[in-house]
Amino acid sequence: MDPASAAPATGSTAASAGVLPRIAAPLLFVMLGVVFASWAARIPAIRDALQLSPAQLGVALLCAGAGSVGAFPLAAWLVGHHGPRRASLWSGTLLLLVVTGLGWAPSLPTLMVLMVGFGVFETSFNVAINAVAARMEHSAGRSIMSRLHAWYCVGTLAGALLGSALAGARIGVGLHFTAVALVAWAVVVVTCAALAPDRPDAQARPGRLTLPRGPLFTLGVVCFCVAIAEGAITDWSGVYMRDALGAGEGTAPLAFAAFSALMLAVRWVADPLKDRWGAQRIVAVGGIAAAAGVGLAAAALNAPLTIAGFALAGAGIAAVFPFIFSAAGRHGATALAGVATMGYSGVLIGPPAIGFVAHLWGLQAAMVVIALVSIAMTLAARRSQLLV
């Protein structure tokens, strides 16, 4: 029996049946955040266990990016043909199987294959739950996407803390990932069963990887820019603190922590602001704030001001992804997947490109490039006809 088709509980469980549909989508976003952060937190342990060089680790991470970009036609078809609820269940299940395998990977070739699968199914699950969120937002008649993405931030913070604690306790990566996958799969099954019934498009067919056109392309440009900025700050802020400011191992991670904390805080309150001021204005102003924050970090005046700069950048770009997915989701699964394709291309291209700039001209120059990308995001947002 398909768990997503399970009937709602009755009788003594009626109360829980009423609660589950309300918390189902937030739980899916939390689960994705926990899984992603659990993986990220144990990358050093996996690198050490397999004795990978920086180049070999980079190749493995690139496999995940390639899988992500190539997955969007599949994701669009799954959501369109089977509906977002079943797509969430199936892609989530496959993602968790892959995550379990990552914890036990015995060699680099195995890790590379699993990383492709991680990219494919993480992306498919991401698109599916955002389609669920877009449908819920349409039914609610008000903005809820940003708060749902805030729950993803809650998950990443929880997953990072869990990973840190288990690593400190010397719990093996395999046991860690297996336990997380089992708990997360139970969450996926229960929450997908509680979601509203699917309304799939029986005519949907698997397609090729194509870029969106017209107004959706402009929306995709905004997504591409914010993905570059967020991915680069995620991967390089700690390195920048260490190399440019000489921060200690305990201080360097505070840059990303501040970035994530402000992103969570802004996402929690962004939906009412969108209803009052409009998505376009918030995204445009956010791009300026992000540029100012990264510019402050690029000045490398001292550690507290640099951390404050990264925090301001997190606040500036916090609402961009939720508002883009909300706008694209109104035009269907194919539009959502196409716009997200451009965004994940930015995730794939951004961190290596920033590393190349840093190699040639230094990390401060790389920070300036991120600030310029944030300004480009503002300009693209001002031209977008769909950010409303």
Q: Tell me: the pLDDT tens digits for 313-322?
A: 999 999 898 8
pLDDT tens digits along 304-362: 999 999 999 999 999 898 888 888 878 877 787 778 778 777 877 777 777 778 878 88
pLDDT band at 201 (very low <50, low <70, confident <90, very high): low
Taking the C-alpha atoms of residue 40 and residue 35, their distance in angstroms, rounded to an integer, is 9
pTM: 0.74
**Domain definitions of the chain by residue range:** 17-194, 215-383
Give pLDDT, residue 225.
92
> Which of the listed ranges 18-22, 232-236, 303-307 does the model predict with the highest average pLDDT?
303-307
DSSP reduced 3-state for 169: coil
* pLDDT, average across residues 210-233: 85
Q: What is the largest CA-CA distance in the chain?
A: 67
Please give the Cα distance from 170 to 217 (Å, whole number): 47
Q: Report helix, strand or coil for 151.
A: helix
Helices (H), the chain: 14-41, 43-50, 54-70, 72-82, 84-103, 108-140, 145-168, 173-194, 215-245, 254-277, 279-299, 303-317, 320-329, 333-361, 363-383
Q: Which of 188, 21, 177 is nearest to 93 (CA)?
A: 188
Hey, do 17-194 and 215-383 end up sharing a CATH topology, with the first three levels equal? yes
The domain defined by 17-194 folds into Growth Hormone; Chain: A; (1.20.1250)
Superfamily for the 215-383 domain? MFS general substrate transporter like domains (1.20.1250.20)
* pLDDT the model gives residue 93: 97
Judge whether residue 230 has pLDDT over 60. Answer: yes
Listed residue (261, 288, 285, 258) closest to 273, CA to CA: 285
Q: Is the pLDDT of residue 216 over 80?
A: yes
